[in-house]
Chains A and B, each alone.
Chain A
Amino acid sequence: MLEGILQGLTTAVSPMNLMMVVAGCFVGTFIGMLPGLGPISAIALMIPITYGLEPSTGLILMAGVYYGAIFGGSTSSILINAPGVAGTVATAFDGYPMAKKGQAGKALAIAAYSSFSGGTIATILLLVAAPSLAAVSLSFQSTDYFALMVLGLTAVAAFAGKGNVVKAILMTVLGLMISTIGTDQTQGIQRFTMGIPDLIDGISFLLLAMAAFALSEALLVVLRPKSDADRKKEMEAQSNLGSLKLTREEVKEMVPVIARSSVLGFFVGVLPGAGATIASFLAYGMEQRIAGEEKGKLFGTGSIRGLTAPETANNAACSGSFVPLLTLGIPGSGTTAIMLGALISYGIQPGPRLYIDNPTVFWSVIISMYIGNVVLLVLNLPLIPYIAKILSIPSTILTPMILFFSLIGVYFVSFNTFDIHLMVMFAVAAVGLRMLDFPLAPMLLGYILGGMMEENLRRALLINDDSWSFIYDRPLTLVILLIAAATLVMPYVMSKISIWFLSRVEKNEVK
């Protein structure tokens, strides 16, 4: 194995391959930055170029585009609230509020550091354990995925903290309801499609996120013209827009979050049925709980932890998703499915024997991912001050551009004009909801987790002949569900205990 790693290292640092890492990262970052355009479009664009290349070179290029796009996606999330990729939707939750407060440069820097750390830690995990991690990929069955989604849904509490619990729950339910639109897998019948054929395949997550965030934000800018005082305040805030400076305390706050989120993100990425989006939501919810009551309340208003967690987790998950792809030949997402196709076209079949039969390809890709993370950091940090300046573009120019790119981005995924109409309708609804102070993030959470929760639950019930016994028969399912229950109940119980304890102490003091 060591020999293979060394072989991979020599391949990865060859001038051609280094060039490909840089090129891939650059193209990926650029495409990812455009709202709505994600790694799938980016990789699909690169495929014809890779045909003439050596297998490892082609794969290195594609991997570079992949994590470059995830990296770049965070930029549009933070600056204009328009996630470029589904995996960076959670990044907008705290990144955009920070940018609004005039800390765009700082937010971008945090995102860059988090992505780098998440990607690097995950790559090291890959390097150490990739072949043996195949077992982890296969350890999760539908029942466990169901439990994982339930655990994810408890993250809704993260959004309830800052405002109205009832409103957050209502919006989660709305998201769950939207997720039922489309063809029902287990019966093969259409639900809530109202006879419209365009709804048969359901509503895409990216469309919903772009409508709820980017489009509604742009519309709100038009609907709520800024007063002169506001504008002045904004100008002041923008004067140090590009500043990347982080204080020592802020770094101290980030480190443990990065450590936890990268490991969590990596393992969620390893599961073929989950992926970067789920990983970012789970990390966000988990960190909000861990942050405690005081810091947890800051989530959604520009919390450093709230930005660090999903950004670390989504990059770690991207690296993690290479485990099922390379060691089992199973694609966990649309992007890795395209990469699988490209691998096969080179005559390389990913699978348990890949790292024995083709050690050079296997290890050089993993090592190039490490190099790619460094490249991304080096490439992006110096650019941040300039990229952040996007926000100082007058809104009369910026708003139409956001509208244009958001609509084009969603159209380029499906090439269906209906999606544009639908997006505008959702955006108008989202504006109404935002004016009434309903949080939109829980809706997205409900949509993505709810859809997968239902799918996995129904599959589990089918397999178990409609018996719910799997909840206590499968230890993994049971453990995850217990953690979910604990996450919900613990804060309540803890506060009761501490109140009780405090009152005892007070009584003693009185005595």
Chain B
Amino acid sequence: MASKGLKIAIVGGGLAGLAAAMKIAEAGHDVDLISVVPVKRSHSVCAQGGINGAVNTKGEGDSPAKHLDDTVYGGDFLANQPPVKRMCDMAPAIINLFDRMGVPFSRTQEGLMDFRRFGGTLHHRTAFAGASTGQQLLYALDEQVRKYEVGGKVTKYEGWEMLSLVLDDHQVCRGLIAMDLQTLELKSFKADAVIMATGGPGLIFGKSTNSMTCTGSAASAAYQQGARYANGEFIQVHPTSIPGEDKLRLMSESARGEGGRVWVPRTDGDTRDPKNIPEAERWYFLEEKYPAYGNLVPRDIATREIFQVCIEGHGVAGENQVYLDLTHIDPETLTRKLGAILEIYEMFVGDDPRHVPMRIFPGVHYSMGGLWVDFEQRTNIPGLFAAGECDYSIHGANRLGANSLVSCVYGGFIAGPSAIDYAKNVERGETETNGIHDAELRRQQEINDQIVKSEGGENQYKLHDELGKWMTDNVTVVRYNDRLKATDEKILELQERFQNISINDSNLWATQAVPHARQLWNMLQLARVITLGALNRDESRGAHYKPDFPDRDDENFLKTTVAEYTEEAPILSYEPVDISLVEPRKRDYSSKH
């Protein structure tokens, strides 16, 4: 079969989407790259600390096998292990490739890549470019893909948002419908395969560390068309974020990786300047409880500890905040290793973290769950692939720091060739597909028309605020079944009220009201998957914590949650986890594991 002339559509131009685009273009095939923002502005830019790979340049005897063990242990054994192993094996080559692409990784005195420590490991495994590693990696792929754009292999549709998949009568994916965010024009993109690389759904929680583009809307649309969504209830709340009016800004784990210490005054409500509080009167609670890992315990543990300290009234000045202290480290070293993130704090809070301990609190950060994929990044819909944060495959119940960048690139590197393999062998059925594209286009246009016509009294932004508040209050760090039930009822109420929104914009040119309404509806659907997944899982594992079920329950719940859409409610089922490589053991970070 002729392999020339394959066309793969990729939705999302972050690290995973660009990684797939590069692989496909390099193999000589054509890519339509659809992205809500210019790809260089994708959310991957926000990743700060680094990228993990057991390159083992520090004489510590690190290896991909140890990276695998740290990752599945950190994820509380919920991840299928074969793809994790494949990622950890590939990780050193990924880092080397980025080095060849010219990423200005921080170097050692010999001129080699330098590595730092991150949470959940005892090894220096994290390559970094200052404290804006995600930005640097994204730019490297952006540059490589721009080369293929010049060469005519990649066509970018920037400022376009995916609304739905085009499925044929056999539920095979034949392309997608996207909307031009300037003209609101809808266009059908015919493709031999579609790769979703659409990132996470943080905006379901209102304020999070995510970019404003991270609505999960496209993944939700795919879910509503039959794609299975796995482990939705596993939402990582990052221990250290800077609370803000518009978002929660991330304070990278690298701050702790470089020696940052978390503490609160031993006396509640101590209002002294932190610099005047003597060492003996500070409570370094992470170091005290977890002597082996100290401040570098995995994120779910650090988050719960900080959260607990605050709700028990020990937070700084009695508020929901603890100190993250770097002031014992030489300011010049801090500037060199952490400059970019210290600037963020300085810029938005106004204090210089080199001289004043930062005040931080946990914030919604990452979704371990996502579209269900097999070990070749194939979803259950033939012709539809997923990679990056929008797929569920690598991180289990909790993601380790600096594993997101590597998993995004890995996902893209597998999904690209996997989509090519599929596309080479798929029956094209050109005549048949024309009709279905037009039909789906009309269906999407009708939804838009309905939204534009709707003139009820509800305000979509206020509905979004309500959704975010309920989700943050009840479906994050600590979860109770009665509150989860109430949250699901609330979401249903919001879905009702959504029918009465008015877009309040008489000018449809470049309006953000119609896209936001579409996103909001999709967020309301995924919110149920997250909430009901949490309700059903009566155990505590990784980021999912229920005080009424405080222990991990492998007998009943060493299983992947799989949600399938129906109009009434998501149907949840459970499938076994592939634990063929590392036998599950109790997670305990108070000593070496």
**B partners with A:** no
Residues in chain B within 8 A of chain A (CB atoms)? none
